[in-house]
Each structure stands twice: as C-alpha cells, then as structure tokens.
Amino acid sequence: MNVTKPIIFSLFQIRELLSKLYLIPIIKQGFVALSSSKAIVPPIAELLFENPSGETHNKYGYIKQQPYFVIKIASGFYDNSTLGIKSGQGVMLLFSQQTGELLAILLDEEELTDVRTAIASIITLKHMAPKNISAIGIIGTGIQAKLQLKYLHQVSDCKNVMIWIRNKENSIAFKDQFKGNCFLITVASTLEELTENCNVINVIIITATPSKEPLLKTHQIKKGTHITTIGSDTADKIKLDPKIIKKTDLVVSDSILQSKTRGEIFQDRKKGCLENSKLLKLGNLIQKPTLGRRNNEQITIADLTGVAVQDIMIAIAIFNNYKNK
C-alpha cells in the first residue's frame, strides 16, 4: 500500500512561494464560487477564551470540481505581546478531495489568513471605491494596515493616506516605517479629521482589545464615501454605528449566510437598520461590476467577516506553486 507523506511548509517557504503569486484573481475565484453555489462552506466553528482573552476560528470547506479540501485553524490571543509572541497563530491543512489523504501542512502562523484578508479588502476597493479617490483613510496601524499599503498599488494610484488610532505614538511609529515609500502618510488627530478628508475608509482595527463599541458614527460619513470593514468576525464585535447603514446606498457582504451570525450586517439587522434590497454578495459584484457603485455620490460599505473560500484558494495556490516549481 502506498502511503503519501504530507509536505510540511515552514513559514519561510510559504513566504517565498507567496511572493511569486498574483493573489487578486485567485481570491476572486473563491468568492465567485461561493456566490455561484459551487463552494461547500459549513458554519464557522469557534472557541472564545476569557483567561487569557483569545479566540480560535476553524474554517473549512471545498470547491466543487477542485482536487482538494482545506481545514484552517487560526487563533488570536491578545496578551501574547507581553510574552513576546505573535497574537495570531494558525495552520492550514490541505487534503485530497478524492481520497481524504492529508497532502500538505502549512505552518503559516496565521500569515496566510492575514494576507487573504487584505486581498479581499483590496478587491472591494477595486469594485466599490469612487473613481476619484481623494485620500484613503486607515483606522488602525496593525498588520492589516501594513498589508493594505503593500497591496494597494495593485488597484489604485492614490498615494494620499491618512491614519488614525487612539494611541498617537503607534500612529507616528507606523508613519516612520513607511518613510521613503511612495505614500504620503498623514496622522489624523481625530476620527472627524479622517472622515472629513478621506472618501475611502478602511476600518481595519485589530487591537489588543477588539472593538465592541462603534467607532464611526453616522454624522461622520459624507456622500461619496466607501468603507471596507474587516475584523468584526464574532457576534459581539462592531466598528460602525448601525445607523450608518440607513444612509448607505449599497452594502456588500463576503458571505450573506455568515453575516447572519457576525459582522456589521449582523449588528445592523439586530437594530432593524438594513434593507435587504441594499445587500449584495461580493462574488456577484465581481461577476457583474455594474451592480456596484453607480456614481461618486453614493455611500457604499463592504463587510468582510472572512470566508473559508479565501483559505481554500490561497492554500491551493501555495501548494500548486510548489508542485509547479
């Protein structure tokens, strides 16, 4: 009997393979498969911890007529920095869809999750941002903020970036990291300053204490603004005042099914603020871009809770890139 030993990928190997991939079309394929009922994605399994504070998400599934299925385990423990350990930890397991054999173990320490999350955000900017972007606002200075700037040039020529976070020292340190970069980065002293000057806002707060109170209020959002929000991936996390949705023209979800239990849309529904006629699947928008923004006066929101199809596509891409070397 032939026994296939799984290939074990270190983080170093994963980074090397990742650097050779153009990920936007790869992740797009996953969203299209999901919206076309070609992806089998069960509900998220999660564990929430109190002492110390942390969470673990298990996302898994497969795409029909693909040779593999993927199981991803990703954790966030918010006190890890005091121990000199990354808050994000994780692994992806890739199996044969024909035999069930374990073919690959990707020891990515949640880096693939971070990257595929950033790529999803970049995709929403490509399809939902106004044509003339005056400035891009980023709320937060963590790994997602850095990844947004890494991939932003693939969909936008805008160089003006304004950042805000409660800890001003972190904002200044973030700006210093990008000295000599092509971006002109300004630190906003208040959220009002950021929302007044930016017509694209990436709400990507990932902090030691994930936000459970709205950060952006309805009076701060002006006409023509696009907001992408990520990280509201449990039932109690929230970044936007639900009333913002009432003045929004279009709301895009990475998974409408998943939004019934988590994310901004979940919060909006609880408050009775969301009209279903405004809601659109990201995969459908990718397939038919005319469903998106119709003019530069509209307010649009993308609510990204993170879907297993992203993990499936990025894990398969790494594996195939390795095989085709």
Cis peptide before 289 (omega within 30 of 0): no
Q: How far apart are CA 137 and CA 165, in angstroms?
A: 11
Residue 209 has pLDDT above 70, yes or no: no
Q: Is the pLDDT of residue 178 over 70?
A: yes
Number of neighbouring beta carbons within 10 Å of residue 99: 9
Q: What angle do CA 7, 11, 13 make, to 5 degrees?
A: 60
Kindly report the pTM of this predicted structure. 0.92
Range of 42-56, 165-179, 308-322 with top mean pLDDT: 308-322
| Cα–Cα nearest to 106, from 77, 75, 76, 70 | 70
For position 140, what pLDDT does the model report?
85
Tens of pLDDT, residue by residue over 51-94, are 888 999 999 999 999 999 999 999 989 888 889 888 889 999 99
pLDDT, one tens digit per residue, over 11-41 is 999 999 999 999 999 999 999 999 999 999 9
Alpha-carbon dihedral of residues 23, 129, 202, 34, nearest 10 degrees?
-50
Quick check: 206 pLDDT over 50?
no
The full set of domains in the chain, from first to last, is 7-112+309-323 (3.30.1780.10), 123-306 (3.40.50.720)
User: pLDDT value at position 160?
Assistant: 92
Tell me: pLDDT of 108 over 80. Answer: yes
Give the angle 60-118-38 at the CA atoms, nearest 5°: 40
Does the structure show a pLDDT above 70 at 207?
Answer: no
SS3 of the chain: helix, strand, coil, percent, to 5 = 35, 25, 40
Question: What pLDDT is recorded for position 71?
Answer: 98
- Flag the least confident range among 227-231, 250-254, 313-317: 227-231
Average confidence score pLDDT of the chain: 90
Instruction: Give the sheet arrangement for strand 226-230, strand by strand.
Output: 184-187, 160-164, 136-139, 200-203, 226-230, 300-304, 250-253, 279-281
pLDDT for res 242: 86
pLDDT digits (tens, 9 = 90+) for 250-292: 999 999 889 888 888 888 888 787 888 889 999 999 999 999 9
If we measure between CA atoms, which residue out of 34, 144, 30 comes closest to residue 87? Answer: 144
**Number of residues written out for the chain:** 325
